[in-house]
């Protein structure tokens, strides 16, 4: 099993090993986001009083952590799309690679791409704006993991739509998580949202992560409730999207869509 998962990972990592532009492309958007938001928060912080500094930290923390979800989702979806674009899916689906192994390989690739993308932005936030995300303490690992898992779940949904609708659904790989941003409470608390939207926000793991992040940065406390809720929702979303993906894969085998996907 590990051998087959590594086989698919190697197919993608071999490309990155040789291609500096691909590596730079991974880091480009998180760094750009960090630079733009860093200057915005520096401007808003103005006189650098305590309240403004804390708010700036919340914004930068939000940017950095949300990038983890974005890169995780895109890393998974784009790795799948690359197989489709290179017309290689046929070979993969007739190999002994099980669907769950395909998913695990795409998850591992997404995690690797996320780390390469987000770590330089974290260093930059510290170097340019004096914001050290490690101040979140051990909870940072939990926040990061919860968002990466949410990215995987959303990507499974996107991949299912690609299997169902073919290349017409490709654009979702880039846009879907941006559509969730307003409800994810990345930059503001859930309480800011209208009452009827708040349950929607709380159904997303991200909203709990960012409420927990604000509690840590603004109040210096660890909110175990939000952390537990984030992981519980992750488990639910991942199980549901995994089921949708496997169902769509079987439906594609039935329709014959795997014969010409990507063409």
> What residues make contact with another protein under the rule CB under 8 A?
3-4, 6-8, 10-11, 14-15, 19, 86-88, 90-98, 250, 253-256, 258-259
- As given in the structure block, the two tokens for residue 170 are 């490709």
Q: Which is nearer to another protein, 89 or 230 (CB)?
A: 89
Nearer to another protein, 78 or 97 (CB): 97
Question: Do residues 59 and 45 touch, judged by C-beta distance below 8 A?
Answer: no
Of 4 and 164, which has the nearer Cβ to another protein? 4
Q: Name the minimum Å distance from CB 10 to another protein.
A: 6
Distance CA 91, CA 79 (A): 15
Q: How far is the CB of 9 from another protein (least distance, A)?
A: 9
Smallest gap from residue 144 Cβ to another protein (A): 29
Nearest to 244 by CA among 174, 164, 146, 171: 164
Nearest residue (CB) to another protein, 21 versus 220? 21
Among candidate residues 142, 122, 148, the one with its CA nearest the CA of residue 222: 142
Closer residue to another protein (CB): 24 or 236? 24
CB 5 within 8 A of CB 108: yes
Selection from 90, 31, 37 nearest residue 59 by Cα: 37
- CA 207 – CA 69 distance, rounded (Å): 12
Q: What is the distance between the alpha carbons of residues 46 and 53, in angstroms, rounded to a whole number?
A: 9
Q: Give the nearest distance from C-beta 255 to another protein in angstroms.
A: 7
Closest distance between another protein and the C-beta of residue 105, in Å?
10
| Least distance to another protein, CB of residue 15, Å | 6
> 212-215, long-range: CB within 8 Å, 24+ apart, which pairs?
212/139, 212/143, 213/58, 213/61, 213/62, 213/65, 213/136, 213/143, 214/58, 214/189
Comparing CB distances to another protein, the nearer of 49 and 95 is 95
């Amino acid at each position: 099993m590990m051998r087959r998962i590594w086989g698919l990972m190697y197919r993608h990592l071999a490309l990155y090993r040789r291609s500096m532009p691909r590596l730079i492309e991974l880091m480009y958007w998180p760094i750009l986001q960090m630079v733009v938001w860093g200057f915005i928060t520096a401007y808003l912080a103005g006189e650098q009083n305590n309240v403004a500094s804390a708010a700036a930290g919340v914004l930068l923390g939000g940017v950095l952590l949300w990038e983890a979800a974005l890169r995780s989702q895109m890393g998974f979806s784009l790795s799948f799309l690359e197989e489709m674009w290179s017309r290689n899916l046929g070979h993969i689906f007739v190999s002994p690679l099980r669907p769950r192994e395909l998913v695990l390989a795409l998850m591992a690739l997404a995690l690797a791409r996320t780390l390469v993308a987000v770590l330089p932005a974290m260093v930059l936030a510290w170097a340019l704006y004096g914001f050290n995300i490690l101040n979140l303490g051990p909870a940072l690992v939990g926040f990061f993991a919860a968002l990466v898992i949410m990215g995987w779940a959303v990507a499974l949904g996107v991949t299912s739509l690609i299997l169902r609708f073919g290349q017409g659904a490709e654009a979702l790989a880039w846009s879907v998580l941006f559509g969730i941003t307003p409800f994810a409470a990345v930059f503001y608390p859930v309480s800011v949202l209208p009452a009827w939207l708040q349950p929607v926000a709380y159904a997303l793991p991200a909203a709990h992560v960012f409420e927990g992040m604000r509690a840590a940065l603004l109040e210096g406390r660890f909110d175990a409730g939000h952390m537990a809720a984030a992981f519980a929702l992750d488990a639910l979303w991942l199980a549901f999207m995994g089921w949708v993906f496997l169902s769509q894969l079987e439906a594609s085998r039935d329709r014959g869509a795997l014969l010409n996907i990507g063409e």
